[in-house]
Each structure stands twice: as structure tokens, then as C-alpha cells.
Structure 1
């Protein structure tokens, strides 16, 4: 009898689960699998898509006592393009080109020199906004930046908060660069489709 109890318990558990299966919530039972539930874009909470365009100024400060860009991997010694260099950034983003203009967010992430032929960076960064209706929201930029090109285009691959489901692109244009210090100000024009 003692050996029979575990077998009976196991069978009762299986039978109970099979009987309850049709009554489980849709997130656990459905055509899409046990952990996926499809929703319609017409459901409450899903708003109409809109296109937002805004201009920001990104300040990459590599000099001084408080740099906002710090190299964490040095480039190859014999490279003319700084190939292999990786820098972590926490760069201020402002409304105007002056560092003293209104701070609207921070560009946080990294860039890496990923080209042996020209100065070409892999940019991976979040624009984390701290101002106005976008406070607490982010957009994520991931792409190639050939820094000596007049205009560089990089994709927006996502976002959070007001920019959930974001997609689009940014155009980067060098505003100023100090060749002695390496400090740079870049104008970013962002075109973002979001809800």
C-alpha cells in the first residue's frame, strides 16, 4: 500500500492538470504557446503611432579632470585609425550647442573604433532623457559612425517609456571638434516613430 500511494498521487496530479487546462488564463493556454499571448493594436493602451523629430547636441568630453568619455581598451599600437579602442560614455545632451545650454538628457553607452581603413566607430548608446514629457524615457541608437563624413546616419532600434516600440534613425553632424583635446560637439537630428 505504501508503494501504491505515490503512483496514485502522480496520476491524480496529471488528471487534475488535464481537467483544469481549458480554464487556465489565455497567457498560459492558447494558440501561441504556454507563455505568449497576442494582443491587438486596437486594445486599450496601444496609442496611434506618431513621428517625432528633434535636434540635440551631444558633448563628448575626453579632456580635463571630469571627462564624460573614458577609454577602457586602448587601440592597437600601430593603428592609424585607433582600431580596437573602446570608450564608455556618459555624455551630456543639451538643447543648444553650448555645454551651458539646457541639459535634456545623457548619452550613455560606448563607442568602439571598428575600422582598420578609416575612423569608423561602432556606436551603442541610450539617449536617456531627463526633461519635459520625455523625462525617464530613452531611445537606443546602434550603428556605424564614420566621424569625418559630413552626415552620418545611424538607426534607432528601440526605446522605453514614451518611446516604447521606437524605430527610426538619427543624423549626426559634427558641430565642433577640438583637435588638441579631442573634445567634440555633435548635432543629432532624431527621427523617431513611436506610440
Structure 2
């Protein structure tokens, strides 16, 4: 049986390894994008939660990490075109009310964008809308910074999509994030 400390250190070690691997093996930005002047990139997409087979898949046990993977789609319907994945993990402190470590990795594989974004949850709220911080990226999103807003599409439905709006800026560009 693994102790809570071992689980915590394994989760943190996995996160560090994922960041290092993403930095080493991420694709370079396409030349056409590298020569263009980009001030702000705004993206609107949807995170589709997986269909759970039973309740035990969604249960978070004490002293464990909650790991998730959702599809990223262009539209709010589960049948919309898939453009990537959202993966992340949460190390809960008090039944997900607080968390010591929340990270979401967004990976994209489309003709327009190829790469990933790292999004950090600074403070867990209890509403239907969360503001997150984009802390970096790879590939088409190399060194991106910005804001991500995550909102429940239909808060009353358990398996509803989450609307994710990204506002990104890139190195060498100044200005505030448009509101």
C-alpha cells in the first residue's frame, strides 16, 4: 500500500517530467507563423468530459490525486470536431475544496495550431466560471502567456461541456490582456 507522501511525490515527479518532456520533444512553430506579427491570439473551444461507466470512476478518495482527460472540440456538442486534449491533475487537500497543485495541459493538433499550453489554477472557486493563468506553451504556442476562462456550458447537467476561452500573448509583445 502506498502512503500519501509517496503518492504526492509521484504526482509532483510526473508533472515535472511531463514539463521537461514537453520542452524537449515539442514541435517547432511553423515558419509561416514565425514570420507573422501576432499581437493577441484569442481561441474559443470546449472541453468535453468523458462518459463515465459508473460512479466509482469519478470518486476521489482521501490522500489521492485526481487525474483527468477531456477532449477539446470546436463546438459545444460532443460530436464537434476534436482539436486536441485537456489533461490535468489535482492534488486535493479537503475534498477538492482546496488544492495544493492544479495544472491543466492543453495539446492541439490541427492545421492551424500544433503544440501545447500549460494552464495553472491559482485559486479554486465554487462558481460556474473560473479564471486561470496560461503559464507557457510549446510549438505554435511557444512561451505563450495569458488568461484562460473556463465556464460550465450548462451548469445543471453533469456531463455538459466546459467553454474555454483563451487570450494569449507571445514574447516580445507588450500590452495588457484585453478584457
TM-score (norm 2): 0.62
Task: Quote the offset at 1:141 in angstroms.
Answer: 0.3
Post-superposition Cα deviations, 1:39-61, rounded to whole Å, max 9, x if no partner, equal xxxxxx78745211111111122
SS for the counterpart of 2:53 is: coil
How far apart, CA to CA, are the structure 1 residues paired with 2:48 and 2:150? 12
Distance 1:114 1:62 in 2: 26
Aligned to 1:93: 72
CA distance in structure 2 between the partners assigned to 1:176 and 1:129 by the alignment: 24
Tell me the alpha carbon deviations over residues 36-86 of structure 1, each in whole angstroms, 9 at most, x when there is no partner.
xxxxxxxxx787452111111111226128xxxx66x9433xxxxxxx552
Q: Is 2:174 aligned against 1:185?
A: no
Query: Corresponding residue for 2:18?
Result: none
Provide TM-score, normalisation by structure 1.
0.58
Q: Which has the larger radius of gyration?
A: 1
> Structure 2, unaligned stretches of length 5 or more?
1-33, 172-179
Cα distance, 1:185 vs. partner?
A: 1.7
Task: State how many pairs are aligned.
Answer: 136
Conservation of the 8 A alpha-carbon contact between 1:59 and 1:91: yes
**What does residue 47 of structure 2 align with?**
58
**Is 1:54–1:190's contact at 8 Å kept on the other side of the alignment?**
yes
Unaligned runs of 5+ in 1: 1-44, 77-83
- Distance in 2 between residues matched to 1:101 and 1:54, nearest whole Å: 16
Distance, in Å, in 2 between the alignment partners of 1:165 and 1:154 is 16
Which structure's relative contact order is higher, taking Cα pairs within 8 Å and 6+ residues apart? 2
